[in-house]
């Protein structure tokens, strides 16, 4: 008897879990994202110059997991019409893609505009318009022209002018067709991974120093591009402009341990707050915990000044409020397990400056070591953004899951989308978080940076062993298509029960 009651209760509980919110609010929009260097290929044709990822993958192939590069990638430079046809088949409201700076401005500066670069993006924009797909366009998605890296890249304050000039050209050339802009994709990955480590190109590894020089320049460059758009282009073009910040959300390993709760908050300020606090808070500037920790560490190292200095009043005001929406890229959650120096931290470094030990041992896994499946962490991040940044309107500008090459029945991806989207519905309806749109990463398997083609995030499988790079839809194409058609989490059994679908196929 007792057993039957238990089973009954479990069945009931299972039903309540499954029967959460399923319908998206009116006006909620769906899109899919890509980035120029990961899909375009055509790295050396029609006037495009070398970028930092071309340089890294050609000169240090040992840093790419499978020794590949983006020379051909998905060949979107030649096959953008297929990209657009796939997007139209899935039925997206918008397509998020990025512009290749080195394709548009081979010197990095506006002294030489490459007509083929302008032509290529106009062709893509026209193809999208024909299918009624809105463009959401990223100005900088990591592929810095090598010419500018040779001058120091994002560690050079001159980059503020170069980025502003490049943005000016893009607003002028494409602003009649593009109404939604993103300045930077994932500033943390640009500054910490590329200037404070070798995880991304140009792999400068100036840990604890270059990363903070980069953030000073990047945040100022972002603000200058915003003000330029706001003052000069918005009055005639009527668009909107934002920044997309990536987060690994940190949770305390034990939510009842006050010290771990406080440390997780510090870690979130170091990760998300590093770039969000200067833009989205009323007081502006870098987060207090970050300024204090780095100052203490710097003094202990014998430095006369902190490796991370607070902005002066001019720049605090200039950077504050410069994003129409909060763009969030989110994939995963890590745990904070204790105070002290993380065993993987270099000296000095951003990670050491946090003063907390972290672990990835949480949630389900994916093909990427860093990507753990923790849907509730997404909800906690979104609630934290609402309370930390005065309830901003939010676009999820990336979210996705990796599996191994050739996984066509991609249940891992489908269940990841379903669970993460379900958490978005929870925070919209239960907590009033203003999430307005969702962007899945990514249209097709592409050059996944240092992972090469060894980890796959696409809706379409791309066979890179075939020179024609054929594309094959995965099951998630049908999932996302149905989601968008009905504006509701797909209820089909086919998407819920891997065992069943295998029998049916
Ligand atoms: C472009 O790069 C390819 C390798 O991806 C090489 O075979 C080709 O010769 C290069 N073309 C030019 C014009 O440099
Ligand atoms: C954007 O421009 C409007 C209109 O001039 C102005 O009121 C607003 O303060 C500007 N935004 C920022 C962040 O400067």
Note the pLDDT of residue 492: 84
Contact 320, 279 (CB under 8 A): yes
Note the pLDDT of residue 419: 95
Note the pLDDT of residue 19: 55
Cβ of 321 less than 6 Å from ligand 2: yes
- What would the pLDDT profile of 391-444 be if each residue is shown by its tens digit? 999 999 999 999 999 999 999 999 999 999 999 999 999 999 999 999 999 999
Q: Give the ligand whose atoms come closest to the C-alpha of residue 57.
A: 1
Residue 250 pLDDT > 50: yes
- What would the pLDDT profile of 448-464 be if each residue is shown by its tens digit? 999 999 999 999 999 99
Note the pLDDT of residue 75: 98
Q: Give the ligand whose atoms come closest to the C-alpha of residue 75.
A: 1
Note the pLDDT of residue 4: 43
The arithmetic mean of pLDDT across residues 253-261, rounded, is 98
Binned at pLDDT 50, 70 and 90, residue 493 comes out as confident
Note the pLDDT of residue 474: 97
Note the pLDDT of residue 214: 99
One of 189, 224, 265, 398 is an active-site residue; which one? 398
The arithmetic mean of pLDDT across residues 147-172, rounded, is 98
- What would the pLDDT profile of 160-210 be if each residue is shown by its tens digit? 999 999 999 999 999 999 999 999 999 999 999 999 999 999 999 999 999
Residue 329 pLDDT > 80: yes
Binned at pLDDT 50, 70 and 90, residue 498 comes out as low
Binned at pLDDT 50, 70 and 90, residue 494 comes out as confident
The predicted model scores a pTM of 0.95
Residue 3 pLDDT > 80: no
Kindly list the protein residues whose Cβ atom lies closer than 6 A to any atom of ligand 1: 44, 71
Please name the residue whose Cα sits nearest to atom 5 of ligand 2: 231
Note the pLDDT of residue 497: 57
- What would the pLDDT profile of 300-326 be if each residue is shown by its tens digit? 999 999 999 999 999 999 999 999 999
Give the span between the Cα atoms of 68 and 54, in whole angstroms. Answer: 11
The rounded radius of gyration (Å) of the Cα atoms in the chain is 22
The arithmetic mean of pLDDT across residues 109-129, rounded, is 98
Please name the residue whose Cα sits nearest to atom 1 of ligand 2: 230
The DSSP 8-state label assigned to residue 154 in this structure reads G
The DSSP 8-state label assigned to residue 446 in this structure reads -
State yes or no: cis peptide before 336, omega within 30 of 0: no
Note the pLDDT of residue 13: 40
The arithmetic mean of pLDDT across residues 316-345, rounded, is 98
Pick among 3.20.20.80, 3.40.190.10, 3.40.50.2020, 2.40.50.100: CATH of 20-488: 3.20.20.80
Cβ of 156 less than 6 Å from ligand 2: no
Number of residues written out for the chain: 505
Active site residue 398: yes
Binned at pLDDT 50, 70 and 90, residue 496 comes out as confident
Contact 21, 426 (CB under 8 A): yes
Per domain, the residue ranges of the chain are: 20-488
Note the pLDDT of residue 12: 44
Query: Could you identify the residue written with the tokens 């203490």?
Result: 296
Long-range interactions of 410-415: CB distance < 8 A, separation 24+? 410/474, 410/475, 410/476, 411/475, 411/498, 411/501, 412/366, 413/474, 413/476, 414/475, 414/476, 414/479, 414/495
- What would the pLDDT profile of 11-58 be if each residue is shown by its tens digit? 444 434 445 999 999 999 999 999 999 999 999 999 999 999 999 999
Give the span between the Cα atoms of 164 and 207, in whole angstroms. Answer: 27
Please name the residue whose Cα sits nearest to atom 10 of ligand 1: 44
Residue 491 pLDDT > 90: no
Residue 384 pLDDT > 80: yes
If one residue of 37, 43, 44, 464 were mutated to test the ligand 1 pocket, choosing by the most ligand atoms within 8 A of its CB, it would be 44
Residue of 471, 482, 480 lying closest to 81 (CA atoms): 471
Residue 8 pLDDT > 50: no
Mean pLDDT of the chain: 95
Tell me what percent of the residues of the chain surpass a pLDDT of 90.
93
Binned at pLDDT 50, 70 and 90, residue 495 comes out as confident
């Amino acid at each position: 008897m007792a057993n039957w009651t238990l089973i009954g209760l479990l069945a009931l509980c299972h039903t309540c879990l499954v029967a959460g919110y399923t319908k998206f609010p009116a006006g909620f929009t769906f899109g899919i994202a890509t980035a120029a260097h990961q899909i375009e290929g055509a790295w050396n044709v029609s006037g495009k110059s070398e970028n930092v990822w071309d340089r890294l993958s050609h000169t240090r192939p040992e840093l790419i997991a499978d020794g590949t590069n983006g020379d051909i990638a998905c060949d979107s430079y030649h096959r953008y019409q297929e990209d657009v046809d796939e997007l139209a088949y899935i039925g997206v409201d918008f397509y998020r893609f990025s512009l290749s700076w080195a394709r548009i401005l081979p010197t990095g500066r506006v002294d030489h505009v490459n007509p083929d670069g302008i032509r290529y993006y106009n062709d893509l924009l026209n193809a999208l318009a024909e299918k009624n797909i809105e463009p959401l366009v990223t100005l900088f998605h990591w592929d810095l022209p090598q010419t500018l890296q040779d001058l120091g890249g994002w560690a050079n304050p001159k980059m503020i002018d170069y980025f502003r000039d490049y943005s000016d050209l893009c607003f002028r050339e494409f602003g009649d067709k593009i109404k939604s802009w993103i300045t930077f994709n994932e500033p943390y990955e640009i500054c910490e991974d590329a200037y404070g480590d070798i995880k991304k190109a140009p792999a400068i590894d100036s840990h604890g120093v270059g990363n903070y020089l980069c953030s000073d320049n990047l945040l100022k460059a972002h603000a200058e591009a915003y003000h330029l758009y706001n003052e000069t282009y918005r009055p005639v073009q009527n668009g909107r402009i934002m920044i997309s910040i990536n987060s690994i959300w940190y949770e305390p390993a034990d939510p009842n341990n006050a010290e771990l709760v406080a440390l997780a908050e510090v870690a979130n300020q170091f990760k998300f707050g590093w770039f969000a606090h200067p833009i989205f808070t009323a007081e502006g500037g870098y987060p207090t915990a970050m300024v204090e920790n780095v100052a203490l560490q710097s003094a202990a190292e014998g430095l006369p000044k902190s490796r991370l200095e607070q902005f002066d009043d001019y720049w605090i005001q200039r950077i504050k409020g410069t994003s129409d929406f909060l763009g969030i890229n989110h994939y995963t959650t890590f745990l904070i397990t204790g105070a002290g120096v993380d065993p993987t931290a270099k000296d000095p470094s951003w990670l050491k400056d946090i003063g907390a030990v972290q672990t990835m041992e949480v949630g389900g896994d994916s093909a990427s070591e860093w990507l753990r499946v923790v849907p509730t962490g997404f909800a906690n991040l979104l609630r934290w953004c609402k309370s930390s940044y005065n309830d901003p309107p939010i676009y999820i500008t990336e979210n996705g899951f990796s599996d191994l090459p050739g996984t066509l029945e991609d249940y891992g991806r489908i269940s990841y989308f379903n669970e993460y989207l379900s958490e978005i519905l929870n925070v919209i309806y239960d907590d009033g978080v203003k999430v307005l749109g969702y962007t899945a990463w990514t249209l097709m398997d592409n050059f996944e940076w240092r992972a090469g083609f060894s980890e796959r995030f696409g809706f379409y499988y791309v066979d890179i062993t075939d020179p024609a790079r054929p594309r094959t839809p995965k099951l998630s194409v049908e999932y996302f298509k149905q989601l968008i058609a009905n504006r509701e989490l797909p209820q089909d059994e086919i998407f819920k029960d891997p065992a069943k679908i295998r029998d049916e196929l």
